[in-house]
C-alpha cells in the first residue's frame, strides 16, 4: 500500500495487477507480432523476407511457450488454472484464453514442423545413433521430400500461415479486449484497445525479429541481407506510425470529449505516468524510432549497410521499450486512479525479488531467447543463404550457425 492523493475507494488502495500482467500482453504481443511478420513471407511471398521466415516463427513459438508463466505467477490459485478450460464460463472473455492459446500453439507447431520438415529428414539421414533416433522421432514417421511432397507442404504452410494471421490477431486482439471490455475502467474501456494492442504487438514482433536477426548473423559471422533489413524497416516504420497514431487518437478523443473520466486521465498522464507515457511511450520510444526508421526508409540509397543496420537496431531496441511502456501505462495506469475518480495512488514499483518482481520478469523475457538458441542447435532457425547449397556429407545447416 503506497502513498495516495485524493479519495480512493477503500478496496482500491491495493494495485492488483502488477508486473506479470504487464508482461503478459507484452509477451503475447511478441508472439503475435513475430507470427504476422512470418506470414508476410509465408503467405504474401515477400521474398526479401526469406531470411527471417523461420526465425520469426521460432521466435513466436519461444515467446508463446513462456507466455502462460506470467499468468500462472499472477494467479492466486494457479493450481486451479485448468478450470479455465475444464469449466469455462462462456460469457467470459478471459475463459477463451486456454482455447485460443491451445489452438494457436497447435497451429504454430504444425507450421514450424512443416517448414523444418526437410531439414529434419536431412539431419536424420546424416546423423547416427541416438541423435538419429531423435530426428526420426521429430520426423513423425514421414520421410517423403519429393518435389510433389514439398509442393504440398508449401501449400499447407500457406494455408496454416494464412489461418495463423487471424489466429494471431485473435490471440492478441483478445488480450486488448480483456482490457477494452472493462466498462468500469475509463482508461481501459475503449473499442480501440484490441486494435491498439494488435498494432503495437506487430511493432514489438518486428523489432524483436530485427534484433534477433542482426545478433544471429553477427554470431554466425554471416552477412545481414540488406533488402531484408530494408523491408523490415519499412514494415516496422509503417506499423509504428499506425500504432502511435491510434494511441494518440484515443487520448485526443478522451481529452476533446472531456467527459467525467478525463478528470482523472488528464492528471494521470501528466503526473503519475508523465515519465513512462510522455517520456518513453511518446518521445524516446516512438518519436525517435520514427525518425530513425524514416531515415532508413526515405534515404535508403544513401545509406551503407552498416548505417542501416545500426539505425534499425537502435530503433528496434527503443521500440521494444516503447511497447513495454505502452503495456505498463495501460495495465498499471488503469489502476493508479481509483474507480471513485477522485484519487490516485502513487505509481507502482515492483520489487526486484518477489513472485511478480523484476527478476522474474527478466527471466521470462530471457527464457524465450534461450529457447530460440536451443532450437537453433536442433534445427536451423536461419535460412541457408541461396548460394550455400548444402553439400552432401558436409556440415549440416545447423552446424554452420
Partner 1 sequence: MRTTQANKPIPGCDGRDRPPLRSRREFIGQGTRTLGAGVAALVLCDLAELTEYAKASGLTTSSAEPLVSGYDWTKHAYVYLIDLRKCIGCGYCVQACSRENDVPEAYFRTWVERYEVSRTGEVRVDSPDGGMNGFEPVVTGQEVTKAFFFPKLCCHCTNTPCVQLCPVGASYRTLDGVILVDEQRCIGCGYCVQACPYGSRFIHPVTHTASKCTLCYHRITKGLKNACVQACPVGARRFGDTKRVGDEVARIIATQRVGVLQPELLTEPNCFYLGLTREAR
Residues that bind partner 1 (CB under 8 A): 1, 7, 9-14, 16-17, 71, 74-78, 80-81, 83-89, 91-95, 97, 106, 118, 121-122, 124-126, 136, 140-149, 152, 156, 178, 181-185, 334-335, 338-342, 392-393
The nearest distance, CB 250 to partner 1, in angstroms, is 19
Task: Answer for the pair 294, 312: CB distance below 8 angstroms, yes or no.
Answer: no
Task: Answer for the pair 341, 265: CB distance below 8 angstroms, yes or no.
Answer: no
Choose between 9 and 44: whose C-beta lies nearer to partner 1.
9
User: Cα separation of 278 and 124, whole Å?
Assistant: 53
User: Cα separation of 311 and 290, whole Å?
Assistant: 11
CA 69 to each of CA 86, 108, 167, 228, 264: distance values in angstroms, whole numbers, following the listed order: 19, 18, 20, 33, 33
The nearest distance, CB 149 to partner 1, in angstroms, is 6
Choose between 11 and 304: whose C-beta lies nearer to partner 1.
11
Phi, psi of 7 (to 5 degrees): -105, 125
The nearest distance, CB 190 to partner 1, in angstroms, is 15
Task: Answer for the pair 176, 197: CB distance below 8 angstroms, yes or no.
Answer: yes
Choose between 96 and 373: whose C-beta lies nearer to partner 1.
96
User: Cα separation of 372 and 241, whole Å?
Assistant: 29
The nearest distance, CB 255 to partner 1, in angstroms, is 20
The nearest distance, CB 76 to partner 1, in angstroms, is 2
Number of other residues whose CB lies within 10 A of the CB of residue 259: 11
C-alpha cell at 392: 552432401
Question: Which residues have CB under 8 Å from 277's CB, separation 6+?
Answer: 269, 325, 329, 333
Task: Answer for the pair 99, 85: CB distance below 8 angstroms, yes or no.
Answer: yes
Question: Which residues have CB under 8 Å from 270's CB, separation 6+?
Answer: 278
Choose between 30 and 122: whose C-beta lies nearer to partner 1.
122
Choose between 70 and 347: whose C-beta lies nearer to partner 1.
70
Choose between 12 and 250: whose C-beta lies nearer to partner 1.
12
Question: Which residues have CB under 8 Å from 315's CB, separation 6+?
Answer: 207, 233, 236, 288, 289, 292, 293, 296
User: Cα separation of 162 and 239, whole Å?
Assistant: 19
Residue 231 region by backbone torsions, left for phi larger than 0, else alpha for psi between -120 and 50, else beta: alpha
The nearest distance, CB 9 to partner 1, in angstroms, is 3
The nearest distance, CB 145 to partner 1, in angstroms, is 6
Choose between 72 and 215: whose C-beta lies nearer to partner 1.
72
Choose between 85 and 215: whose C-beta lies nearer to partner 1.
85
The nearest distance, CB 83 to partner 1, in angstroms, is 4
Amino acid at each position: 500500500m503506497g502513498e495516495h492523493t485524493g479519495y480512493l475507494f477503500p478496496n482500491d488502495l491495493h494495485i492488483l495487477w502488477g508486473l506479470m500482467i504487464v508482461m503478459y500482453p507484452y509477451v503475447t504481443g511478441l508472439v503475435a507480432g513475430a507470427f504476422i511478420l512470418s506470414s508476410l513471407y509465408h503467405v504474401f511471398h515477400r521474398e526479401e523476407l526469406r531470411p527471417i521466415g523461420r526465425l520469426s516463427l521460432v521466435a513466436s513459438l519461444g515467446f508463446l511457450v513462456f507466455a502462460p508463466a506470467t499468468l500462472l505467477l499472477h494467479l492466486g490459485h494457479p493450481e486451479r488454472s485448468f478450470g479455465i478450460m475444464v469449466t469455462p464460463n462462456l460469457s467470459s472473455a478471459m475463459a477463451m484464453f486456454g482455447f485460443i492459446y491451445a489452438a494457436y500453439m497447435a497451429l504454430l507447431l504444425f507450421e514450424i514442423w512443416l517448414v523444418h520438415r526437410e531439414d529434419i529428414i536431412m539431419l536424420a539421414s546424416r546423423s547416427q545413433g541416438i541423435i538419429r533416433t531423435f530426428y526420426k522421432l521429430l520426423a513423425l514417421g514421414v520421410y517423403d521430400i519429393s518435389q510433389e511432397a514439398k509442393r504440398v507442404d508449401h501449400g499447407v504452410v500457406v494455408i496454416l500461415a494464412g489461418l495463423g494471421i487471424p489466429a494471431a490477431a485473435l490471440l492478441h486482439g483478445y488480450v486488448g479486449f480483456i482490457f477494452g471490455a472493462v466498462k468500469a475502467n475509463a482508461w481501459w474501456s475503449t473499442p480501440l484497445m484490441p486494435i491498439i494492442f494488435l498494432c503495437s504487438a506487430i511493432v514489438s514482433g518486428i523489432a524483436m525479429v530485427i534484433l534477433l536477426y542482426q545478433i544471429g548473423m553477427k554470431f554466425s559471422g554471416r552477412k545481414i541481407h540488406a533488402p531484408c533489413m530494408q523491408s523490415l524497416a519499412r514494415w516496422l516504420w509503417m506499423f509504428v506510425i499506425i500504432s502511435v497514431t491510434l494511441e494518440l487518437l484515443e487520448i485526443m478523443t478522451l481529452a476533446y470529449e472531456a467527459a467525467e473520466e478525463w478528470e482523472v486521465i488528464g492528471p494521470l498522464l501528466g503526473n503519475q505516468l508523465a515519465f513512462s507515457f510522455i517520456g518513453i511511450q511518446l518521445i524516446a520510444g516512438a518519436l525517435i524510432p520514427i525518425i530513425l526508421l524514416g531515415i532508413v526508409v526515405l534515404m535508403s540509397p544513401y545509406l551503407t549497410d552498416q548505417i542501416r543496420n545500426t539505425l534499425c537496431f537502435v530503433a528496434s531496441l527503443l521500440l521494444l521499450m516503447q511497447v513495454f511502456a505502452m503495456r505498463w501505462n495501460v495495465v498499471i495506469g488503469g489502476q493508479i486512479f481509483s474507480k471513485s475518480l477522485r484519487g490516485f495512488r502513487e505509481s507502482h514499483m515492483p520489487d526486484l525479488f518477489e513472485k511478480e518482481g523484476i527478476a522474474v520478469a527478466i527471466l521470462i523475457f530471457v527464457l524465450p531467447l534461450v529457447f530460440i538458441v536451443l532450437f537453433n542447435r536442433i534445427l536451423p532457425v536461419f535460412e541457408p543463404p541461396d548460394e550455400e547449397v548444402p553439400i552432401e556429407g558436409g556440415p549440416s545447416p545447423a552446424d554452420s550457425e
